[in-house]
């Protein structure tokens, strides 16, 4: 986060606020702790507070991330998740399975072009 605030990287953090409370957020980092170091950058830490879920917050933030990265000439972008069905709603496509650092099972990798 510090590197982004100091303008040392194009990868940033995106928040949804309700007043002074963070109710959702996600970041963009080089690699989200998986073996495919060539698939970069990665959306990470996608989260919405329980009381604010199913209101479109995560989808709005995902679209904001995609638009922001494209405006900087950064495309495609990737993310790893165990969820199925959610990211596809926002034009993410399943790409392959990746091995998480220290994880026994493979994880789904998605791409947004």
Average pLDDT over residues 41-49: 97
pLDDT in the model for residue 4 = 78
Q: Model confidence over 58-97: pLDDT tens digits? A: 999 999 999 999 999 999 999 999 999 999 999 999 999 9
How many domains are contained in the chain?
Answer: 1
The CATH number assigned to the domain holding 76 equals: 3.40.630.30
The dihedrals phi and psi of 4, each to the nearest 5 degrees, come to: -65, -45
Average pLDDT over residues 31-45: 96
3-state helix, strand, coil in the chain (%, to 5): 25, 40, 40
Q: Model confidence over 48-69: pLDDT tens digits? A: 999 999 999 999 999 999 999 9
Domain containing 73: what range? 2-112
């Amino acid at each position: 986060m510090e590197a982004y605030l100091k303008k040392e990287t194009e990868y940033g953090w995106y928040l949804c606020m309700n007043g002074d409370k963070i109710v959702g957020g996600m970041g963009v980092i080089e690699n989200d702790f998986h073996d495919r170091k060539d698939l970069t950058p990665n959306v990470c830490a996608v989260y919405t507070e329980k009381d604010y879920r199913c209101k479109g917050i995560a989808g709005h933030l995902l679209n904001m991330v995609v638009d922001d990265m494209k405006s900087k000439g950064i495309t495609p972008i990737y993310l790893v998740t165990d969820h199925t069905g959610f990211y596809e709603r926002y034009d993410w496509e399943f790409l392959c399975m990746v091995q998480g650092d220290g994880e026994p099972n493979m994880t789904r990798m998605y791409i947004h072009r």
